[in-house]
Amino acid sequence: MTDSHPRAAPAVTTGRRKLYELEVVRVLTFACVIAVHVVSHTAAGSVPLIASLILLHFTREVFFALTGFVLTFGYLRHPRPMRTFWPRRFLLVGVPYLVWTFIYCVISQIGHPFDLGAFLVHLGLSALTGTAYYHLYFLLVTMQIYLLFPLLIRLVIVSRRWHWLVLLIAFAVQLTTSGMDAYAPGSLHWLNIVTNVIDYQAFIIGGAIAADHVMAVMAFVRTHRRGIAIATVASAAVTVGVYYVQLAAGFSAYRAATAYQPVVILWSVVAGVALMALGAWWVDRRPGAHHRTLDYLSDRSFGVFLAHPLVLWALLGIFGGFVSGWPPVLVALAAYPIVALGALAIADGARRSILSLPLAGRPHTARLKNIP
């Protein structure tokens, strides 16, 4: 399996070199990831502000659906043996993962007595578990997807006659595990010792299967825009309603808005489809355009993801006391653009330097062509 590819995989064509619809999804998803973390650190117990988190939590599932989609779409267009797939993929994610794990382990020591032995143990455990900082588990799970990708692509190909059944089973399993995690805390402790692909398997599989039907997916989001918009508003209302019902049942605001609950799984499906429809709408309004700004933001998105908690940590460390009396909504609105632009500046600087690979997950090139 590792040195060959399935013969049953026909090439996928879309008539364009790049699916800009996906680039819109990528950029908006990462923008919402920043919002999740800004709100989480500035909400100060505000029930209405924390309510936004239950809607923003779609980012986890959509991120991994996008990963499954992009990997499968690329493979079906240009099949390659795993001996060439793995080295490149693990290089582009593994190196930044280790470098930023070190960076975040260092900043966690600021203000505390330094013990080299304890630091090295902390660094090693953090690298193994993705816990150096709250966002790095994304990269750990991504690398698990890379490792299991031969099984994923095999599943997509051999189950083509039963894709709907595969999806139903995958989502039934994920809804069950998320329900147990939300309403029977600790019941899945054995499963969550290390964040793993099982927590997101339905969306990874769903993204991969969607890539195998890319033309049908694109046609669907283009011809059902009104229905998707209505479903999105209705699903958002239901999701927020569940949040307030759980508050009434005695849940804390943060627990009521947790990402690990069935309603977020269902909302994430709708949100992902809505983002794809929005991406299709954006592309259709600019047929034949070069989308240079979108290229620029997409190229820096991984670096922004890696750096934004560092900017948020520094911002709150410097100005946290000054804004402590402000309304939480105002603090979040003020912090968001600073964090987003600060992380973009770091990612852009990294992309223009020899540190592009370790800091931004992109190979360094002498000249960048996607500057708007």
Query: Residue 367 — very low, low, confident or very high, per pLDDT cuts 50/70/90?
Result: low
The Cα 156–Cα 103 span in angstroms is 38
pLDDT (average), residues 261-267 = 96
The Cα 104–Cα 102 span in angstroms is 6
Given a contact cutoff of 8 angstroms between Cβ atoms, the answer to whether 288 and 20 are in contact is: no
Tens of pLDDT along 324-342?
Answer: 889 999 999 999 999 999 9
CA 79 vs CA 83, 93, 142, 145, 204: distances in Å: 12, 21, 20, 17, 19
The Cα 312–Cα 306 span in angstroms is 12
- Percentage of the chain surpassing pLDDT 90? 78
Given a contact cutoff of 8 angstroms between Cβ atoms, the answer to whether 144 and 196 are in contact is: yes
Q: How many CB atoms lie within 10 A of CB 353?
A: 11
Q: Where are the domains of the chain?
A: 20-360
Tokens of 25: 């999804």
Lowest mean pLDDT among 182-186, 190-194, 257-261, 315-319: 190-194
* Nearest residue to 144 (alpha-carbon basis) of 90, 77, 211: 90
Sequence-ordered list of residues with C-beta below 8 angstroms from that of 163, at least 6 positions apart, any chain: 156, 209, 212, 213
Given a contact cutoff of 8 angstroms between Cβ atoms, the answer to whether 181 and 260 are in contact is: yes
pLDDT of residue 325: 86
The Cα 250–Cα 12 span in angstroms is 50
Lowest mean pLDDT among 15-29, 143-157, 196-210, 314-328: 15-29
pLDDT (average), residues 108-117 = 88
pLDDT of residue 368: 58
Name the DSSP class of 10: P
Q: How many CB atoms lie within 10 A of CB 165?
A: 10
pLDDT of residue 88: 92
Query: Residue 26 — very low, low, confident or very high, per pLDDT cuts 50/70/90?
Result: very high
Tokens of 170: 């995958």
pLDDT of residue 1: 37
Given a contact cutoff of 8 angstroms between Cβ atoms, the answer to whether 137 and 35 are in contact is: no
Q: Does the structure show a pLDDT above 80 at 27?
A: yes
Given a contact cutoff of 8 angstroms between Cβ atoms, the answer to whether 104 and 123 are in contact is: no
Mean confidence (pLDDT) of the chain: 90
Q: Does the structure show a pLDDT above 50 at 313?
A: yes
* Nearest residue to 232 (alpha-carbon basis) of 279, 200, 272: 272
The Cα 235–Cα 271 span in angstroms is 9
Tokens of 291: 């989308």
Q: Assign residue 44 a region (left: φ > 0; alpha: ψ between -120 and 50; beta: otherwise).
A: left
Query: Residue 10 — very low, low, confident or very high, per pLDDT cuts 50/70/90?
Result: very low
Q: Does the structure show a pLDDT above 50 at 2?
A: no
